[in-house]
């Protein structure tokens, strides 16, 4: 797998880098993920705080899968602080041509085009680096209208809903499932 690394500026002029996840990112990633969880934003962690051990295990498995060309993971950072992450992981066995995707951006950096840039970049890197990847799927909170619009704008299509599939801020809301054929 070739190393990916680009440096650009946000609309407001803040320099950022999009690059491959590295084993050295464990502590910065833990801080980022736990911040998102405390925010109770549109992620599956809703207030829980991960431990350093859990995050180390996650990063070790993910970087192993990246080396094995079964996953890609990109982080966005500014001033050595992670402000976004996206990944595609191949599913096992008979689904091994389907990549499960996730994406998030720090609240301070939303609505600046970074989410869509990261989305397009992770799809491109998935196609380039995961030979078996044919379909990307994801799930989304029904109330996350901006994300739904973004996914549709790059070709994702809805294929189902799980009524009450997500507990979000004390309420059970629908989980929307989407896919995109990439080859």
- Say if residues 138 and 124 touch (Cβ distance below 8 Å): no
Write the pLDDT tens digit of every residue in 71-114. 999 999 999 899 999 999 999 999 999 999 999 999 999 988 99
CA 151 – CA 157 distance, rounded (Å): 8
Q: Is 166 exposed, middle or buried (0-12, 13-18, 19+ CB in 10 A)?
A: buried
Which tens digit of pLDDT belongs to each residue from 112-137?
A: 899 999 999 999 999 999 999 999 99
Domains present along the chain, CATH in parentheses: 5-181 (3.40.630.30)
């Amino acid at each position: 797998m070739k190393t990916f690394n680009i440096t650009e500026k946000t609309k407001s002029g803040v320099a950022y880098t999009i690059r491959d996840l590295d084993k050295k990112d464990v502590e910065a990633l833990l801080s980022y993920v736990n911040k998102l969880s405390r925010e109770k934003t549109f992620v599956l962690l809703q207030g829980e705080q991960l431990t350093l051990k859990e995050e180390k295990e996650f990063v070790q498995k993910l970087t192993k899968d990246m080396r094995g060309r079964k996953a890609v993971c990109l982080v966005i950072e500014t001033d050595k602080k992670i402000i976004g992450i996206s990944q595609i992981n191949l599913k096992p066995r008979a689904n091994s041509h389907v990549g499960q995707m996730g994406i998030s951006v720090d609240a301070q950096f939303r609505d600046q085009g970074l989410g869509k840039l990261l989305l397009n970049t992770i799809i491109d890197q998935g196609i380039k680096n995961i030979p078996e990847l044919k379909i990307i799927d994801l799930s989304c909170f029904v109330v996350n209208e901006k994300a739904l619009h973004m996914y549709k704008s790059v070709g994702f299509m809805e294929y189902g809903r799980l009524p009450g599939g997500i507990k979000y801020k004390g309420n059970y809301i629908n989980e929307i499932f989407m896919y995109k054929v990439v080859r």
